[in-house]
Amino acid sequence: MAAVSTALDAGYRHIDTAEMYGNEREVSEAISRSGLDRTEVFVTSKLSNDAHRPDDARRAFDESLKTLGFDYLDLFLIHWPLPTRYDGDYVSTWRTLEEIYRDGLTRSIGVSNFQPHHLRRLLRGPDDREPLDAALEVRSQPGRPARVGQG
């Protein structure tokens, strides 16, 4: 909690968390103790790797909201595509996130650690799907060349 409190005191307003980081409760406490209104802090959380099946993804999202003590998330991501698990069906996981978005429980959805071929699979589908407010989280390390697009 100290790291998040220090970040908020320093002016940070985007907090990245995940169930698998084990810090959602601490993030919630730090935001609550900061005196900031919830709407002033953009909170991202991520789907745990063991919860990609649709029912599991919905339960995991609900548990994250409960642990955080929030009514909504600003951004919820599929952390990894995991193409060798769950019969490679991260597309149905994405569809579940679309439902969560349409239910108004997250302001946007997205993916992390996806390569272009993973994204192409997500984009295939009926042309009549409504566009969503979606994000692609890309890892960047100063001094190391980006590897986006490889793989």
Q: Which residues are catalytic?
A: 21
47 neighbors 60 (Cβ within 8 angstroms): yes
Token code pair at residue 146: 């980006």
What is the per-residue burial (b if ≥16 Cβ within 10 Å, else e) of 12-41?
eeebbbbbbeebbebbbebbeeeeeeeeeb
CA–CA distance, 27 with 145 (Å, rounded to integer): 31
CA–CA distance, 75 with 32 (Å, rounded to integer): 19
